[in-house]
Amino acid sequence: MSNTNDNFKILFSALDWGLGHTTRSIPVLKSFVEKGYDIFIACEPHSASEKILKREFPQAHFLPLRGYHIAYAKSPQLFAWKIVRQIPRIISSIKNERKQVAKWCDQYHFNMIISDNRYGFFNEKVKSIFITHQLQIIAPFSFLKKFIRRLNYNYINHFSECWIPDFESKNNLAGELSHPEKLPEIPVKYIGALSRLKKTEAEKKYDFLILLSGPEPQRTILENRFLQIKQRFTGKVLLVRGLPNEVNELASTNNFVVKNYFDADDLSEAIAQSEFVIARSGYSTVMDLFYLKKKAIFIPTPGQTEQEYLAETLMNKGFSYSFKQNEKDYYKKIGEAKDFLASNSTDFLSAF
């Protein structure tokens, strides 16, 4: 793809809060590549996001941009406090990325900017799109929810449009997160569920596919919980660690296979080969499993109110089963999940 002033140029970046913001934007970027547009991707050099996007878009131009580097507490009780302490640094990152985008706009003359949840990734002179499913951030009190939503909209309203990866109707995935009482002032467009995965037919190979993802140390904590009970599984299990940059692999057995990372094609096939998928209730994972019509067992990241809300909401709708990470007997909860999903998930999926 050539880089001339005649080409329509798009600048893109995603929040480095796990990999979900990166992966869910892949189908959006592919639609622009198919139109022949020049794609510029801003991300942290040598990061997992860069590795994934370079694999998906070898023709794209990559620009270095430091991530927010949000640190997470080991204890869920300290999760919110840990985030609050980092707010000054996050605000500084937002200001810095805004300055950097302005410099790039002068240099490359972009026609459009797309930001997946990076609040400073816009420019007043260029059409700037903000992608988010979380207009309403979950908080314990009504007055606090409204206050946080107002702060959220103060940033979102700097953009030209807001694209929401969910359905506008009452049959939706994100519930209150994407359908709050009040919308931002800028135009809002519901673009449906996004997934980079492919629907494929395959014979059953695994009883359970365990997909690990999200920030440390919680990713490793969950991984260790499953490794501790791997001998109890009677069927065949595939565990994907969600570590695209990891070189060393954990030992596998005939019935408990461990892989560091799967690209989109391998992951699509693995999901098709599995009867149940156990994963975090991050929204990108929710959209993937909904798109592939797969029975899901969610274990929300402790302290992440969004994941806890999604896990509870989707279980109430019958789409999935969920239990907390600190449950003592995972094997027992997984058995309960199988019984629950045998009679519930099909009805929800057929509503779309």
**pLDDT tens-digit map of 58-73:** 999 999 999 876 666 6
- pLDDT attached to residue 102: 98
Choosing among 3.40.50.2000, 3.20.20.140, 3.20.20.100, 3.40.50.300, the CATH entry for 206-349 is 3.40.50.2000
Q: Decide if 274 contacts 209 (C-beta within 8 A).
A: yes
Instruction: Assign domain 9-190 to a CATH class.
Output: alpha beta
- pLDDT attached to residue 163: 98
- pLDDT attached to residue 1: 38
Both tokens of residue 198? 């492919």
Provide the mean pLDDT of the chain.
Answer: 90
Both tokens of residue 341? 């999903």
The residues of the chain scoring below 70 in pLDDT are 1-6, 69-83, 86, 140-141, 345-352
Domain regions of the chain by residue span: 9-190, 206-349
Both tokens of residue 135? 């207009």
- pLDDT attached to residue 39: 98
Distances, alpha carbon 261 to alpha carbons 145, 240, 244, 248, 298, in Å: 36, 6, 5, 11, 19
Same fold, 9-190 and 206-349: yes
Identity of the amino acid at 27: P
